[in-house]
């Protein structure tokens, strides 16, 4: 990518590129000649916009460019510096298809240049285990401010930063776009003589787990005098432990004049307000109270039964987003007290497995397979799963057999490796009894052919060395 323009020697530009409404921004800081300010980035101004689905590609997509000038616009002789009509931006595009591993194999030259990964604001169609995100996107929407006794309107600049609960500023946690390192703060662009600015600037907060109790703060300055005249803030975490909701938030503006005594409580400006929009893309932070209670179940040991029962109230979108953490939590609860929580954990597993049978979430089935093969660690889980499955089959109850059997077999493999094959005969007897229950249930519906097919399929799941 290259930009050419006529510029004054005392300023620089920043260029932001993004897929309109769908992606983060790719940011480049340019010098007065239109090249990268960092000389190491010459011929390396390359970004990969990831996570675009087939559905996205069928829509009308637009690459939007935003060029922001940093520096004075008034020459020393009092005349104003303006751009000429020759300013231009040149980009080249290439469509790449496939997962990330495939793209790296097939396009080694592109990735050798230091590609900036530019992600979708939301999540891709499938979230694989190990794909961890913890990003909060904030949009500086607009503000309404008073003149403050002046004859002309203000030149307003907003400075944004993130604080811990004790007031310490998080370092390098504000990203203006891929391609540039994060910063400790962000300063908005300035609209000349405008008391009701509309910025629509999007920033990303790649929040570390230690900052989960922080808050974001915005201070407003009169650009002409560099004078702080107010500030706004909002906690990133609610009192119930959930994260700031995805919506527009009106923040109160508090007066911050130097003439106020230090002992006086800050006063809200009744006629001044500030609006931000938030969007969370995280596999670690949630906005759902019931899901948060499940993931933090150890903090409420007396409520585990109720917490497990309320999993059904969590939306399918949240469940597939946190699928690995939910499964890890369920098996941790099962290990904690098998007799007490076993049936409810089993019902929760059946609920999740049946959810993946829905056409809306069917493409998450490979995620479940990957979890079972590479992340599942419940070496003792097979005993309770067999017991619960047999109990339901004896009562002709419909359960999700395929993945339950996969969990049982993988659990037994893990147990056998850890104990050098102990309790093998007991396991085989349990499996035989379970098969008999399954055959009996299927025979009630006169599905003899299905009985044979299922029995063969289940037998193939059992490794020969078990």
Q: How far apart are CA 365 and CA 403, in angstroms?
A: 10
- Mean predicted lDDT score pLDDT of the chain: 81
Q: How far apart are CA 158 and CA 216, in angstroms?
A: 13
**pLDDT the model gives residue 10:** 53
User: Is residue 111 within 8 Å of 104, Cβ to Cβ?
Assistant: yes
Could you report the per-residue pLDDT of 366-384, keeping only the tens digit for each?
999 999 999 999 999 999 9
Q: How far apart are CA 248 and CA 218, in angstroms?
A: 15
Could you report the per-residue pLDDT of 265-297, keeping only the tens digit for each?
567 777 788 899 999 998 888 999 999 999 999
Give the C-alpha distances (Å, rounded to integers) separating 366 from 56, 361, 363: 21, 11, 7
Q: What value does the mean pLDDT take over residues 136-163?
A: 86
Domain spanning 134-282: which CATH class is it, in words? mainly beta
Flag whether pLDDT at 187 surpasses 80: yes
Give the C-alpha distances (Å, rounded to integers) separating 374 from 319, 368, 369, 378, 381: 19, 10, 9, 12, 16
Q: How far apart are CA 166 and CA 161, in angstroms?
A: 14
Q: How far apart are CA 335 and CA 414, in angstroms?
A: 14
Two structure tokens written together for 41: 């980035």
Q: Which residue has the tokens 């249930």?
A: 441
| Residue 447 confidence class, pLDDT cut points 50, 70, 90 | very low
Could you report the per-residue pLDDT of 294-338, keeping only the tens digit for each?
999 999 999 999 999 999 999 999 999 999 999 999 999 999 999
Q: 206: left (phi > 0), else alpha (psi -120 to 50), else beta? A: beta
Query: In which order are the strands placed within the sheet that holds 156-163?
Result: 186-187, 156-163, 215-222, 227-235, 248-255, 268-282, 134-144, 198-206
Query: Closest by alpha carbon to 291, among 340, 247, 325?
Result: 325
* Kind plus residue range of the DSSP H or E element containing 461: helix 448-461
Q: How far apart are CA 321 and CA 25, in angstroms?
A: 23
Other residues' Cβ atoms within 10 Å of the Cβ of residue 352: 23
Other residues' Cβ atoms within 10 Å of the Cβ of residue 363: 13
The pTM of this model reads 0.74
User: Is residue 208 within 8 Å of 173, Cβ to Cβ?
Assistant: yes
For CA atoms 300, 302, 303, 304, give the dihedral sign. Answer: positive
User: What DSSP string describes 291-325?
Assistant: HHHHHTGGG-GGGHHHHHHGGGGS-HHHHHHTHHH
**pLDDT the model gives residue 396:** 59
Q: How far apart are CA 49 and CA 47, in angstroms?
A: 6
Three-state DSSP at 194 gives coil
Q: How far apart are CA 417 and CA 413, in angstroms?
A: 6
Flag whether pLDDT at 394 surpasses 60: yes
Ordered by start, the domain boundaries in the chain are 2-118, 134-282, 289-461
Burial environment of residue 449 by CB neighbours within 10 A (0 to 12, 13 to 18, 19 or more): exposed
Two structure tokens written together for 120: 């979708």
Could you report the per-residue pLDDT of 33-66, keeping only the tens digit for each?
878 888 888 777 899 998 888 888 888 888 888 8
**pLDDT the model gives residue 343:** 93
Q: What percent of the chain has pLDDT over 90?
A: 34
């Amino acid at each position: 990518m290259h930009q050419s323009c006529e510029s004054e020697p005392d300023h620089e530009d920043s260029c932001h590129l993004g897929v309109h409404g769908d992606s983060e921004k790719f940011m480049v800081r340019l010098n007065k000649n239109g090249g990268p300010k960092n000389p190491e980035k010459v011929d390396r101004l390359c970004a990969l916009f990831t996570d675009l689905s087939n559905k996205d590609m069928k829509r009308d997509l637009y690459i939007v460019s935003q060029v922001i000038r940093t520096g004075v616009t008034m020459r020393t002789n009092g005349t104003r510096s303006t751009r000429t009509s020759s300013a231009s931006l040149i980009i080249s595009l290439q469509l790449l298809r496939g997962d990330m591993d495939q793209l790296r194999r097939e396009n080694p030259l592109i990735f050798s240049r230091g590609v900036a990964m530019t992600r979708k604001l939301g999540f891709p169609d499938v979230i694989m285990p190990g794909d961890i995100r913890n990003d909060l996107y904030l949009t500086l929407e607009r503000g309404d401010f008073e003149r403050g006794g002046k004859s002309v309107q203000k030149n307003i600049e907003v400075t944004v930063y993130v604080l811990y609960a004790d007031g310490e500023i998080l370092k390098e946690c504000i990203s203006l776009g891929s391609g540039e390192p994060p910063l400790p703060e962000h300063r908005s662009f300035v609209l000349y003589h405008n008391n009701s600015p509309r910025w629509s600037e999007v920033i990303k907060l790649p929040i570390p787990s230690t900052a989960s109790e922080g808050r974001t703060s915005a201070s407003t300055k009169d650009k002409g005098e560099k004078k702080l005249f107010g500030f706004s803030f909002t906690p990133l975490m609610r009192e119930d432990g959930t994260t700031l909701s995805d919506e527009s938030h009106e923040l109160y503006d508090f007066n911050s004049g130097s003439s106020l005594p230090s002992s006086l409580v800050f006063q809200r400006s009744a006629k001044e307000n500030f609006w931000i929009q938030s969007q969370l893309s995280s596999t670690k932070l949630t906005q759902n109270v019931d899901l948060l209670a499940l993931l933090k179940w150890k903090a409420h040991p007396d409520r585990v039964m109720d917490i497990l029962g309320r999993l059904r109230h969590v939306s399918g979108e949240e469940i597939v987003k946190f699928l690995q953490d939910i499964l890890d939590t369920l098996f941790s609860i099962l290990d904690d007290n098998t007799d007490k929580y076993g049936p409810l954990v089993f019902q929760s597993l059946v609920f999740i497995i049946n959810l993946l049978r829905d056409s809306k979430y069917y493409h998450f089935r490979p995620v479940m397979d990957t979890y079972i093969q590479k992340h599942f660690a419940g070496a003792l889980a097979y005993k309770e799963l067999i017991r619960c499955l047999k109990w339901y089959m004896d009562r002709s109850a419909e359960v999700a057999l395929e993945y339950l059997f996969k969990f049982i077999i993988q659990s037994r493999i893990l147990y056998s490796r850890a104990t050098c094959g102990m309790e093998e005969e007991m396991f085989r007897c349990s499996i035989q009894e379970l098969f008999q229950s399954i055959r009996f249930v299927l025979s009630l519906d006169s599905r003899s052919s299905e009985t044979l097919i299922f029995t063969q399929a289940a037998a193939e799941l059992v490794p020969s060395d078990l």
